[in-house]
């Protein structure tokens, strides 16, 4: 049975009817399926069955809810984090510190110290200066930490421009041509146990050729480093596998991906690390919303729903397409624009789309929003932070409460004076 399916004409998440959830927490709300998370996690792992030594770390930024991370921790997943906040989420989700990998272009000294104090498994360094700082902090603590160097393989992932990360002009990693020299210098530092390299070329990748290209380049660097006398034991291949947002189109072929990885990395003799985010979580979530108005438009009606771009930013940010359907479809179809209440033309989920006929008050869902959905939510336009519900079989649990925008605003308000008198003027040197 599909995790989201109709039974008696009503859309269910596993064994729970979605109207029941709307009644309990209101709309909009994210609803996740634990079974869908587990099945994607198992499918990903099974596709890598031929890889003898591997570590799979869920990219927390795709869905940092600790209850979601807990489901994946129980599947043996570690975590790939990009901030101190995500470190706390991963630990709250029951992921062991040694299973955590810290990626990210702008880790601050405070974040590096936080991660050192927790004892995470690996730091993915993005630049030489970061490695020098990390080494010094580790030495101050009397330890040595495992680190890899992220390289920029200069390949085009052929995905949306805002989620391609492996081109020479992108901000991520060090240039391939300089990688060996930087690695030499980092490996000489007392606080670092340099054990390999990392790359991540982008997200929502369905064409595996750029990935293969990037992995081959990593293989060449691996050989160069070993020739240079380095003991390389880990290569982090990143994430990026895409999913289908439209019915009828396939997800990235994870089995073909697994076979490609096995072929390209044959003889590398390292532990391979993976950081899938979207592939694990995207299909596991829907955004439940209610129709507020059906407003006449010039060409077709506007379906004004109570979810908006602040709850699901992907359409506004990436022109993303999310399937939309009625929770209790009548069988009639219409063509409409689907929009939210936010005062931005970008608050448009779909244009001239053929959808289920809906009227004010009807419950609907946007599909495939388990990744990069709730995590990007904001309170723009004074809107509340959207709640999240995790369904597992016939149980449903609120795993994030709706947080009213006015409550957040009040918590942040007040008038705290900054002491300005006689403070020394700081000059940039
Ligand atoms: C975003 C990101 C991922 C996950 O990407 P997906 O496309 O969701 O699989 C993995 N690794 C790094 C370094 C990332 O920035």
For residues 181, 186, 188 and 192, what is the CA-based torsion angle, rounded to 10 degrees? -160
d(CA 195, CA 210): 25
Please give the Cα distance from 45 to 59 (Å, whole number).
Answer: 15
Residues 225 and 240 in one domain: yes
- 315 plus 167 within the same structural domain: no
Q: Global pTM?
A: 0.95
Least confident interval from 109-118, 222-231, 408-417: 408-417
- How many CA atoms within 13 Å lie on the side-chain side of 74? 10
* pLDDT band (50, 70, 90) for residue 428: low
**Is residue 248 domain-shared with residue 310, that is, in the same domain?**
no
Please determine, for residue 163, whether its predicted confidence score (pLDDT) is greater than 80: no
Same domain, 300 and 187: no
Phi and psi, residue 163, nearest 5°:
-125, 25
Is residue 54, in this structure, part of any structural domain at all? yes
| 159-175 burial: b if 16+ Cβ within 10 Å, else e | beeebbbbbeebebbbe
Q: Which of 88-102, 152-166, 167-181 has the highest mean pLDDT?
A: 88-102
User: Which is catalytic among the residues 343, 418, 420, 421?
Assistant: 343
48 with 169, same domain? yes
Q: Is 420 an annotated catalytic residue?
A: no
Q: Which of 279, 299, 316 is the last residue of a domain?
A: 279
**Is residue 114 domain-shared with residue 87, that is, in the same domain?**
yes
Measuring CA to CA, which residue among 115, 100, 129, 125 is closest to residue 196? 125
- Output the pLDDT for position 400: 98
Domain count, the chain: 2
Domain containing 227 — which CATH number? 3.20.20.10
Residue with tokens 């909009």: 28
361: CATH: 2.40.37.10
How many Å apart are CA 232 and CA 328, to the nearest integer? 56
The verdict on 26 and 164 lying in the same domain is no
Structure tokens at 59: 């990219």
Are 183 and 324 part of one and the same domain?
no
Question: How many Å lie between the centroid of ligand 1 and the Cα of residue 279?
Answer: 10
**DSSP letter string, 246-261:** STTSPPP-HHHHHHHH
Owning domain of residue 224: 34-279
User: Could you tell me if 264 and 345 lie in one domain?
Assistant: no
User: Looking at the predicted structure, is the pLDDT value of residue 425 above 80?
Assistant: no
Report pLDDT digits (tens) over 250-300: 999 999 999 999 999 999 999 999 999 999 999 999 999 999 999 999 999
**Above pLDDT 90, what percent of the chain?**
90
DSSP-assigned beta bridge partners for residue 102: 81, 123
* Centroid of ligand 1 to alpha carbon of 67 (angstroms): 20
Residues having CB closer than 6 A to ligand 1 are 59, 61-62, 80, 103, 200, 203, 238-241, 275-279, 371
Mark whether 68 and 216 lie in a shared domain: yes
Burial zone of 280 (CB within 10 Å; 0-12 exposed, 13-18 middle, 19+ buried): buried
Q: What is the pLDDT of residue 209?
A: 95
Residue 162 pLDDT: 78
Q: Residue 379: pLDDT band by 50, 70, 90 thresholds?
A: very high
């Amino acid at each position: 049975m599909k995790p989201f399916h109709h039974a008696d004409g009503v859309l269910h998440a596993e064994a729970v009817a979605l109207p029941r959830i709307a009644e309990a927490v209101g709309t909009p709300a994210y609803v996740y399926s634990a079974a869908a998370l587990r099945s994607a996690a198992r499918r990903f792992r099974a596709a890598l069955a031929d890889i003898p030594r591997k570590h799979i770390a869920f990219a927390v930024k795709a869905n940092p809810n600790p209850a979601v991370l807990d489901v994946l921790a129980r599947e043996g997943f570690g975590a790939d984090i990009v901030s101190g906040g995500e470190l706390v989420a991963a630990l709250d989700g029951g992921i062991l510190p040694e299973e955590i990998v810290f990626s990210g272009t702008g880790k601050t000294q405070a974040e590096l110290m936080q991660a050192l104090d927790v004892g995470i498994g690996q730091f993915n360094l993005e630049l030489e200066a970061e490695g020098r700082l990390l080494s010094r902090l580790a030495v101050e603590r009397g330890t040595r930490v495992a680190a890899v160097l992220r390289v920029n393989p200069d390949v085009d992932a052929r995905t949306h421009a805002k989620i391609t990360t492996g081109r020479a002009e992108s901000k991520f990693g060090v240039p391939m041509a300089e990688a060996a020299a930087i690695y030499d210098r980092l490996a000489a530092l007392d606080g670092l146990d340099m054990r390999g390299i990392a790359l991540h070329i982008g997200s929502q990748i369905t064409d595996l050729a750029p990935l293969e290209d990037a992995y081959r380049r990593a293989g060449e660097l691996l050989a160069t480093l070993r020739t240079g006398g380095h003991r390389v034991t880990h290569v982090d291949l990143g994430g990026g596998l895409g999913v289908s947002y439209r019915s009828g189109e396939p997800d990235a072929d994870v089995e073909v991906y697994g076979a490609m990885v096995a072929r390209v990395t044959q003889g590398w003799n390292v532990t391979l690390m993976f950081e899938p985010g979207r592939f694990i979580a995207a299909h596991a979530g829907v955004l439940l919303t209610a129709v507020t108005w059906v407003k006449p438009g010039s060409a077709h009606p506007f379906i004004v729903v109570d979810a908006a771009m602040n709850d699901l930013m992907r359409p506004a940010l990436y022109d993303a397409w999310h399937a939309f359907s009625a929770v209790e479809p009548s069988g009639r179809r219409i063509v409409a624009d689907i929009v939210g209440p936010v005062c931005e033309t970008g608050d448009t989920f779909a244009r001239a789309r053929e959808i289920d006929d809906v009227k004010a008050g009807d419950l609907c869902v946007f599909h495939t929003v388990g990744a990069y959905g709730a995590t990007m939510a904001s309170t723009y336009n004074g809107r509340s932070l959207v709640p999240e519900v995790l369904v597992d079989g016939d149980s449903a649990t609120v795993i994030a409460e709706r947080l009213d925008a006015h409550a957040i605003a009040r918590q942040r308000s007040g008038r705290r004076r900054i002491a300005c008198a006689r403070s020394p003027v700081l000059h940039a040197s």
